Amino acid sequence: MKKKYKKDNNINQRSFYFEDYLETDKKNKRLKRYNNFQDRIYILFFLFFSLILIFSIRITHIALDKKDNFNFEKEKSKFSLLRRDIVDRKGVIISRNVNTFHVAINPSLVKDKKNFLIKLRLNFPEIDINKIEKKLSKDKYFRLKKRIDQNDKEKFWALGEKAIKFEPFQARMYTHGNLFSHIIGQVDYDNYGISGIEKFFDKELKKKSHLNKPLKLTLDSNIQYIINKEVSSAIKIFDATGGAALLMDVNNGDILSLVSLPNFNINQRSTIKDKKFINKITKGVYELGSIFKTFTVALALDHNLVETGTLLENIPKKIKCSIHEITDMKEHPKNLSVEEILIRSSNVGSVILAKKVGEKKYKEFIKKAKLTNNPDIELEEVGMPHQLKWNKCKLETISYGHGITTTPLQATALYAAMTNGGKLITPSLIKDRTIKYSGSIISKETSIKLSKILRKVVNSKIGTASLADKDGYYVGGKTGTAESYGDKRNRINTFISIFPTNKPSYTLFVMLENPKINKDLIYNYRGIETKAPYNTSGWNSVYVAGKIIEKIGPILAINNSEFTNLHVAEKTN
């Protein structure tokens, strides 16, 4: 029995082990498949996790990046800036390159040319459709419109034509439109300067090493706007054909404002041929009339021929010179002091003083003052005064501003020298430059005397410029009524002012072309309401200068501490 049991037991044992092996083998196979499946899940999970991690890191990096990915500087660097910015004295942008587009047409991509032309006509009535139709028929790629703005681009895009192509390029944009048109000038479509500052400094503006450094001008945009507005208003009030103004620092030659009207919008790139659009300040050449009497008096004083109080007795009503007679516009007393000759603006008195000075000294003065040279300024648009021929009566007529021409820029610069101590400074449009002096034109003592006389021209009862007398600004100056050289029909009324005259800081030139009497305008003339009795500069250019000084005075006072103290001192007194 024991043996049998063992045998059975062995059989059973073998059977047990066989079954266990099969079952285990099945389990192992299932486990292996399960493990492989899990491995794939882990791999996929790892891949997905890695991708999520990469994207998360990238998003975090962008979010924490301090640089503004959409700022102008980065955008500017993308299209490789071709020209420097131009800014005013306070950093206000006047001229800048921006990305823009030309729009072109590929005729081979136009499916329905008639329909295309209809859409163009409806959306762009200013386009010559007949020309476009001819170009379409030639099946050659052509530009439809140059230098489009964003509105035009959207309108062209909305047409839904594959044939329309946008060609990116850099355009020069002028932020103030026509405000600085005679100064800044323009560039062509290839970014080459063709006029104004853009042309004069073309190489400097394109220099790669300076592209991120703006060219800073001496101009003040706020003051330019105010003066432009006042001169524009004056042209309407006095029905003038044009006007101009120039504001300059008498001590360093900085030009804070240069206005010449009519002007034009330099963003439109139109060709300007009409002479009325010339820069009247730098290119206009005029006989400026009685403002020259200031130079005559200055020479007589500087050569110690007279004093301001020296009395000239028995002044005749007229002086004959060759076949001509020189007279005064108004009747003056027979006896006039030297300063009264300038205050009353006597032609005959000026002739007498000029004869005391003599032709030789007057010639030397004109040469030293460079009045008959081209004006020195950072513009190519400059005029050429006609050369003097010292024939009979030339000295006499020059003494009161006839028979000699110059530009308003040169006349203003000379007035600056007359009142700044005698230093002849070259006017400039460029800030932070080296100041250029051309020597001394008169002594400091004469300059002080002259400033006092010019003040009396404005605040004296017998002066010709009382409408410019504004409280707190010590305005002085001289009026002039003359003609444009080469066109005797072109009447020029001018006024050059200095302020404050007790410590000169600024000179303001104002000119109106062919002004007329405004019969409806009521003046406050020395506290009395009146209408203009004459069509002279005292009743129009002086009036405009007073309006300008009244508005720009506070701005200049804020920017000039010495001027502020003088302004407060006079108001206190």
pLDDT band at 573 (very low <50, low <70, confident <90, very high): very low
The DSSP code sequence of 434-471 is ---EEEESS-HHHHHHHHHHHHHHHHSTT-S-GGG--T
Look at residue 140 and tell me if it is in a domain: yes
Looking up tokens 């009409």, which residue turns up? 274
Looking up tokens 């859409």, which residue turns up? 119
Look at residue 33 and tell me if it is in a domain: no
Look at residue 10 and tell me if it is in a domain: no
Q: Of 484 and 300, which is predicted with more confidence?
A: 300
Mean pLDDT of 439-466: 96
- How many Cβ atoms sit within 10 Å of the Cβ of residue 110? 18
pTM of the predicted model as reported, rounded to 2 decimal places: 0.80
Residues 329 and 384 reside in one and the same domain = yes
The pLDDT tens digits of the residues spanning 248-258 come to 999 999 999 99
Bridge partners of residue 319, in order along the sequence: 326
Residues 466 and 488 reside in one and the same domain = yes
Nearest residue to 100 via CA among 149, 142, 145: 149
- How many Cβ atoms sit within 10 Å of the Cβ of residue 458? 30
Bridge partners of residue 477, in order along the sequence: 497
CA pseudo-torsion sign 33, 34, 37, 42: negative
pLDDT tops 60 at residue 235 = yes
Look at residue 25 and tell me if it is in a domain: no
Look at residue 68 and tell me if it is in a domain: no
Q: What does the buried/exposed string (b/e) look like for 409-447 if buried means 16 or more CB atoms within 10 Å of the residue's CB?
A: bbbbbbbbbbbbbbbbbbbbbbeeeeeeeeeebbeeebb
pLDDT score, position 11: 46
- How many Cβ atoms sit within 10 Å of the Cβ of residue 223? 21
Mean pLDDT of 377-397: 93
Q: Cα–Cα distance between 427 and 249 in angstroms, integer?
A: 9
Residues 207 and 244 reside in one and the same domain = no
Retrieve residue 189's tokens. Answer: 């479509």
Q: Of 77 and 320, which is predicted with more confidence?
A: 320
Look at residue 130 and tell me if it is in a domain: yes
pLDDT band at 48 (very low <50, low <70, confident <90, very high): confident
Q: Cα–Cα distance between 55 and 93 in angstroms, integer?
A: 41
Residues 180 and 245 reside in one and the same domain = no
- Domain total for the chain? 2
pLDDT band at 205 (very low <50, low <70, confident <90, very high): very high
Range of the domain at 556: 224-266+278-572
Residues 202 and 242 reside in one and the same domain = no
Amino acid at 131: K
Mean pLDDT of 158-175: 89
Looking up tokens 């072309």, which residue turns up? 513
- CA contacts within 13 A on the Cβ side of 541: 34
Residues 182 and 202 reside in one and the same domain = yes
Residues 314 and 457 reside in one and the same domain = yes
SS3 content of the chain, % helix, strand, coil (to 5): 45, 20, 35
pLDDT band at 269 (very low <50, low <70, confident <90, very high): low
Could you tell me the CA-to-CA distances from 297 to 395, 480, 505, 553 in Å, in that order?
Answer: 14, 15, 22, 28
The H-or-E segment that residue 295 falls in is: helix 293-302
Residues 212 and 246 reside in one and the same domain = no
Amino acid at 338: V
Nearest residue to 537 via CA among 496, 505, 569: 496
Look at residue 402 and tell me if it is in a domain: yes
**Pairing verdict, β 336-337 and 311-312:** antiparallel
Mean of per-residue pLDDT scores for the chain:
87
Return the CATH number at 127.
Answer: 3.90.1310.10
Residues 182 and 244 reside in one and the same domain = no
pLDDT score, position 482: 79
Return the CATH number at 368.
Answer: 3.40.710.10
**Pairing verdict, β 215-216 and 86-87:** parallel
Q: Of 390 and 65, which is predicted with more confidence?
A: 390
Query: For residue 207, what are the contacts with CB-CB under 8 A and spacing of at least 6?
Result: 84
Residues 202 and 133 reside in one and the same domain = yes
Look at residue 466 and tell me if it is in a domain: yes
Query: Which DSSP category does 474 fall into?
Result: -
Q: Where are the alpha helices (DSSP H) in 138-217?
A: 150-158, 181-184, 196-200, 202-206
pLDDT tops 80 at residue 560 = no
Query: Which DSSP category does 571 fall into?
Result: H
Residues 254 and 367 reside in one and the same domain = yes
Retrieve residue 209's tokens. Answer: 């090493």
The pLDDT tens digits of the residues spanning 290-333 come to 999 999 999 999 999 999 999 999 999 999 988 889 999 889 99
Residues 197 and 252 reside in one and the same domain = no
Amino acid at 256: L
- CA contacts within 13 A on the Cβ side of 492: 32
